[in-house]
Chains A and B, each alone.
Chain A
Amino acid sequence: MNDIVVTRKRFAAGKIGELRNLGLVAVLVALAVVGAVTKPDQFLRVDNVVLILTLSSIIGVITVGMTFVIIGGGIDLSVGAVVALSTVWATTKATQSYGIGGIVFCALAVGVGAGLVSGLLIAYGRLVAFIGTLAMLASARGLAIQLSQGKTQTVTFKNQSLVDLGYKKSYVLGIPPLVIIFVVVAVIGWFLLNRTTFGRRTFAIGGNPEAARLAGIDVRRHTLLLYVLSGLCCGIASVMLIILTSSGTSANGNLYELDAIAAVIIGGTLLSGGRGTLVGSVLGVLVFTTISDLFTLNNLSTAVQQITKGLIIVVAVLIQRRAAAERTSP
């Protein structure tokens, strides 16, 4: 019965969420128009769209995990550091001697393991999520530097077929495998969030953990699972990063946490949890990547790019808030 109440609440929130998404779609369309006007020959081309999607795919997968954590009332600051550790661990000479299976397994295991540790600290150790994942951020990055000794580890010739997945010959119907992974993760994430008990519980504990507990949800176990999920997404993203760059380094994933959180927030998810949409987060990622693409196409300086990025975050959030306000006050 409690699940029903929660479901109804979620649907109400979902409507507003959809309108917020419309705001983001408008931003995306506006960016596309700017691109089409300033660089008509290069921007509106299939390979440019494929490029934007490819560059979105890695941070996109991380953002899917981050969306779950934030809707569940938490935050995961460790994603960038976990990606660094995961890519480094998966590309050490010892791991690479186990072949591609070893690389993929190691990357996923490190991600899940890090998520498990953060989740245990936060759910059962009663650490504030901000602190728990901040600790993970510091130690995972440190461990990555120690393991790699500061070196950039490249994928060996024996495992080259993993890197081949990033090349044109591996495209399926013109779509890069990385984009397919991103779409699959996003679709599974959407289904998990919107069509399963797991998703309903995520909204419930993010909205009001005490009420969720009284309704019989094992809040601690669920919280643990959310961080494991985020860790798994980091692991998947690490494999993708190894495919894209053919290397692992402790400098990987720098400031990913901020990129992912920014995408989730402009996607209309409440930072305090309990409300949000996965579609919005994905759109948020696309907006950021399109901006970057647009600026490089027009050969604008990094300084201008950063100023504009800041402005666009503010504008996107203002548009969404207006859309949401119009919906709620008839």
Chain B
Amino acid sequence: MTGLNRRTLLAGASALGAAALASACTSNVDGPPPAPQGGAQNSANAEPGKKVKVGFAGPQADHGWLNAINTNARTEARRYTDVELVITEGSNDAATQASQIDSLINQKVDVLVVLPADGKQMTPAGRKAMDAGIPVINLDRIFDSAQSYRTWIGGDNYRMGLNAGNYLGKVLNGKGSVIELAGIDTLELTTQRTQGFDDALKNFPGIRKVGRAAAEFNVQTGQSRMAELLQAYPQFDAMWNHDDDQGIGALQAIAQAGRTGFVMVGGAGSKAAMEQIKSDSSVLKATVLYPPTMAASAIRLARLLGQAKGMGDLAEQEIPASVTLSSAVVTKDNVDQYLPFSFE
């Protein structure tokens, strides 16, 4: 009996200890993030109008960029007194996301913003909302059918590769060897980025792409594949890395191997990458944007759609059916302009 008591006591004590440790170490608070002050705040459209209930369904935020999408949507909605944002728990499962969209339709939101985990799979769910009279703003990953959305807004993966390739071509003066650290090869966006990159390099006959590896958008695999590439190519002049998150690992591998003497261009536009570009402290000299501010823009578009307004600076009465973002190349010269919109 005493033995049992002692054990219970021990277990209790260790549980308490664990709880104390948990509360001490889980905190990540570092003050509230500054609200991004995006683009031109258009005067007439900024005036509060009819109240709009916006539903938002996105994938699980298990990656820096996706997390920034959610943050951008939330922060933007808070800036408008006439927007009420209903946000669902993100999911990567097509069935779960479809049911979440159903629930948003039942809640009778005025406009629906959807970043599908998989555009093709979510097409019927978007159609359902449109049929129920709810305009859908399709964010980034595009639905299969134009009947499933009112407006699409998103990035351009092909152009991202194109801009990266053209930038490197200019930096190298059209001569040299490059390598490519891609993302997940089974995703269409990776194929498009690579296609754009290759097409841009065709403009420079003196540049040869000698190596490529897929690093799966993950810090650790970024480190591993980069370490292997550095081993495989003792000398190259430039590289493009599709994603700044995996770039953290890739830059570690480069530092660990003590390699310099080439130019690295990143992708997506994370805060860590932009800070390195700004300080000019590593091989990373530029990054090609795939801006998560598109979520903030989507909230703005949703608000305008709900209030039946057009876009201020266009002559059109209606919101356009498709908005493709440009993939700016961020270098030391213009990094200050983009740093406030970078993501962690």
Contact = CB atoms under 8 A, between A and B. Distances in A.
Given A95-B25, A244-B223, A293 B252 contact: no
Given A154-B248, A245-B223, A42 B214 contact: no
B218 A246 contact: no
B318 interface: no
11 contacts: A42-B232, A93-B30, A113-B18, A147-B26, A150-B66, A152-B344, A154-B272, A241-B220, A250-B62, A254-B218, A299-B232
A11 interface: no
A254 B184 CA distance: 13
B252 A42 contact: no
A109 B219 contact: no
Contacts of A252: 218-220
Contact of B232 (A147, A151, A253, A296): A296
B25 A247 contact: no
Given A151-B64, A302-B185, A106 B25 contact: yes
Nearest to A169: B258
Given A251-B219, A299-B232, 6 more contacts: A147-B26, A153-B28, A154-B248, A168-B258, A245-B219, A299-B210
B231 A47 contact: yes
A253 B62 CA distance: 13
Main secondary structure of the interface of A (DSSP, over half): helix
Contacts of A113: 18
A152 B28 contact: no
Interface of B: 18, 21, 24-30, 60-64, 66-67, 70, 185, 210-214, 216-225, 227-229, 231-232, 234, 245, 248-249, 252, 255-258, 270, 272, 344
Interface residues on A, range: 35 or more
A150 B234 contact: no
A303 B272 CA distance: 31
B67 A51 contact: no
A100 B234 CA distance: 34
A73 interface: no
A94 B249 CA distance: 23
A94 B26 contact: yes
Contacts of A151: 64, 67, 344
Contacts of B27: 92-94
Interface string A95-116: 1000000100010010001000
A166 interface: yes
Nearest to A301: B185
A154 B270 CA distance: 12
A271 B129 CA distance: 49
Contact of A152 (B21, B229, B232, B248): B248
Contact of A94 (B24, B248, B272): B24
Contact of B231 (A51, A94, A247): A51
Interface in A165-211: 166-168
Given A54-B227, A251-B63, A297-B232, A94 B25 contact: yes
Nearest to A296: B228
B67 A149 contact: yes
B213 A247 contact: no
Given A92-B28, A296-B228, A296-B229, A149 B211 contact: no
Given A92-B25, A167-B256, A303-B185, A249 B67 contact: no
Nearest to B190: A302
A89 B60 contact: no
A269 to B, nearest CB: 25
Contacts of A89: 25-26
Interface in A27-85: 39, 42, 47-48, 51, 54-55, 58
A270 interface: no
Contacts of B252: 163, 166, 244-246
